[in-house]
Structure 1
Amino acid sequence: MKIPGLLLVLSLILTQTCLGHFTLTSLDEETVPKSISYTGNISQAVRWTDNTGDNIVILTVTDKTQSKNAPDDSYSDAALYAYHYLVSGDGPKQTWKVYDYVKECPADIFLDFVDETFAVTDLNKDGKAEVWVMYKVACQGDVSPIPMKIIMYQDSKKFAVRGTTRVKVSATDYMGGEYSLDGAFKNAPAEFRQQAEKLWKQHATETWGQ
């Protein structure tokens, strides 16, 4: 469920009070600069200033569409994106992009950002923002664990966590929930790893809409 505009702003402000000092401005289709192009429907978009300059991040998810080269019309495609732009006198310049997708899926598509996980932080207090994006990506027709990722960027450096959600299979047993940090996270400041592991543990258990 997406947070309405005002509540989203308040949520982002509270998050930054805990994790950093940047003031975020919420954007939408009308307030994103017209010179910025993106694919899909805006899930979240924010703007802030740090030591690197004037920043904009846009998260989008496409509508599910029928696969073009599939055997029949029961196959679908979908994609999600996260864009980062630095805005200067010359206009916005894209510095990184996250792109993931499901193609030719004959089952259910799970492809969306995890609620209340997007954040812009300054955990190591160097004045440069860390941008956190967490999402699920799968094509499956059962209730098994779903592949999930955390992608974090500081400047143009990418950090990643990959694993699966955790699913309850009996009164006391769970399946899935495993994750691994990439080399960038393993060599990162401890506060980066701690935040990544905290995010994962908070959001790994699958509720299936409950």
Structure 2
Amino acid sequence: MNSVQLLRGQLRPVLMGLLMTVACVTTVRADDGVALTSIDQVPDGVEVRGKQIAAYTWDDRQGKNLLVLAEQVSERDDDGTQSAFVYAAQYLIDGNRPKRVWMLYDDVQHCEFDAALRFDREATKVTDLAGDGITQATVGYSRTCTSDVSPNEFKLIMHVGKSQKYRLRGVDRVGASWWDEEAGALRGMPLPKDCSVAGQQALVSQYKEQGTELPLPGCYGDEKDFAKAPEAYLTFMRQHWFALMQKQDTDWSQAQAQPQDPTEDDGSAP
């Protein structure tokens, strides 16, 4: 648990050309974000904690950047508890030694139920919102310690350079609806479209849900981190949050509405 793995990959003689010549690379562009190149092997000097699930490179005014994402879930301890963590870091590939710009680490320790932290790969975005060649790297992940299928804590985090960090923290859409066999339809509060306190309370009032706490599934708590941030940052993060929650809501709803496979064993006697 919490092991640190330093990958020792083969580094090209000309480091500037490294990330253009690595085998098995794919270039992806999401919305209006910066084009990212996905790589399997990171260079010497890049720390990876846990199991690497993704690594991306891109260029901006500062040079060549690398973002690595990793996760780990432990086996259960002797007392039956479980732990998990996520790790992310951005590096500048400068000269012969990668320089870490920032690092993210979050964990669940000694969970008595099921511990889980997972990156939402759809959340990974690199943007140049000011158009000045300085990029912002955004990642998102879910965090939980539960014994049932219910919404998880969700964090969407934007890093700008070494010290600036902006977050939206709330609850995702997993388990927010369920299939009502008698009605033949999905039940549950719809995905909120307004995460202000007033907007969330209006939705609670409209659907008369009992015992519901804010934030609602699919919403974040507040926008305090953005009080002194450029307006474009908050605009992007709001749009990105709701796009992610809409996809989660659609995927979850479709999974719940799928008819049961008649070939599956229902537990009854033949």
Distance 1:61 1:159, change over 3 A: same
Cα displacement string for residues 75-114 of structure 1 (whole angstroms, at most 9, x for unaligned residues)? 1111111111112125111121111111111212231011
Moved over 4 A (4+): none
Question: What secondary structure sits across from 1:144 in the alignment?
Answer: coil
- Give the structure 2 partner of residue 9 of structure 1: 26
How many residue pairs are counted as aligned between the two chains? Answer: 194
Kept in 1: contact 2:57–2:64 (CA 8 A):
yes
Q: Which has the higher contact order (CA 8 A, sep 6+)?
A: 1
Residue 176 of structure 2 corresponds to residue 159 of structure 1 = no
- Report percent identity of matched pairs: 30
TM-score, length of structure 1 as denominator length: 0.81
Kept in 1: contact 2:107–2:117 (CA 8 A):
yes
Residue 143 of structure 2 corresponds to residue 133 of structure 1 = no
How far apart are 1:39 and its partner, in Å? 0.7
* 1:168 counterpart letter in structure 2: S
* 1:121 counterpart letter in structure 2: T
- Give the structure 1 partner of residue 49 of structure 2: 39
Q: 2:39 aligns with which of 27, 35, 47?
A: 27
Kept in 2: contact 1:19–1:123 (CA 8 A):
no
CA distance in 1, matches of 2:120, 2:36: 19
Question: What secondary structure sits across from 1:48 in the alignment?
Answer: strand
CA distance in 1, matches of 2:47, 2:101: 13
Kept in 2: contact 1:56–1:84 (CA 8 A):
yes
* 1:9 counterpart letter in structure 2: T
CA distance in 1, matches of 2:57, 2:123: 17
Which runs of structure 2 are paired with 1:1-210 in the superposition (5 Å)? 9-10=26-27, 12=28, 14-15=29-30, 18-20=31-33, 22-28=34-40, 31-67=41-77, 72=79, 74-156=80-162, 157-166=164-173, 167-168=176-177, 171-174=187-190, 175-204=216-245, 205=248, 207=252, 210=255
* 1:199 counterpart letter in structure 2: H
CA distance in 2, matches of 1:198, 1:177: 13
Distance 1:40 1:129, change over 3 A: same
Kept in 2: contact 1:27–1:44 (CA 8 A):
yes
Kept in 1: contact 2:71–2:118 (CA 8 A):
yes
Question: What secondary structure sits across from 2:104 in the alignment?
Answer: strand
* 2:218 counterpart letter in structure 1: G
Kept in 2: contact 1:160–1:181 (CA 8 A):
no
How far apart are 1:36 and its partner, in Å? 1.4
For the aligned residues, what is the CA RMSD?
A: 2.5
* 1:54 counterpart letter in structure 2: K
CA distance in 2, matches of 1:208, 1:32: 37
CA distance in 1, matches of 2:82, 2:188: 36
CA distance in 2, matches of 1:113, 1:154: 19
Distance 1:182 1:96, change over 3 A: farther
Cα displacement string for residues 133-184 of structure 1 (whole angstroms, at most 9, x for unaligned residues)? 0100110112332100001111121111100123126625255233134544
TM-score, length of structure 2 as denominator length: 0.64
Kept in 2: contact 1:149–1:163 (CA 8 A):
yes
Larger radius of gyration: 2
Distance 1:148 1:173, change over 3 A: same
Kept in 2: contact 1:131–1:153 (CA 8 A):
yes
Q: Which runs of 5+ in 2 are unaligned?
A: 1-22, 179-185, 191-215, 256-270
Question: What secondary structure sits across from 1:98 in the alignment?
Answer: strand
* 2:172 counterpart letter in structure 1: T
CA distance in 1, matches of 2:63, 2:76: 40
